[in-house]
Amino acid sequence: MVATRSARERKAAAQAGPLARVRIDLDGEQQLLYRISCTSCRARKDRPWSTHRAGGDNGFMAAMDRWTFHLVEKHPGDDAPCLAFLGEAQQRLHERREAD
């Protein structure tokens, strides 16, 4: 049974921590689209920093990895449950680079 979108959203938000805002949309092909934005950082044109990735669990993982790196880089003093998986996130990043 596939978890509902809002249940996935809550789970992702809990993992990403208090600085993150998580949204899950569906794209034109009914694929899940994960978007994690930072409530503290502003990127260009005064839009919040955000990352988005499409596709079920892989998209979730990729978006959460990017968010984890953002936290480490920009908010080293802040805590979030996803930081517990930093080592795994770095390993996945490494594997993705190897695959290129």
User: Is residue 24 near Zn ion by the rule CB under 5 A?
Assistant: no
Residues 54-83 that bind Zn ion (CB under 5 A): 74
User: Is residue 42 near Zn ion by the rule CB under 5 A?
Assistant: no
Q: State both tokens at 51.
A: 């990352």
User: Is residue 43 near Zn ion by the rule CB under 5 A?
Assistant: no
Classify residue 26 as left (phi > 0), alpha (psi -120 to 50) or beta.
beta
For Zn ion, the closer of residues 11 and 42 by Cβ is 42
For Zn ion, the closer of residues 19 and 32 by Cβ is 19
CA distance 79 to 4: 27
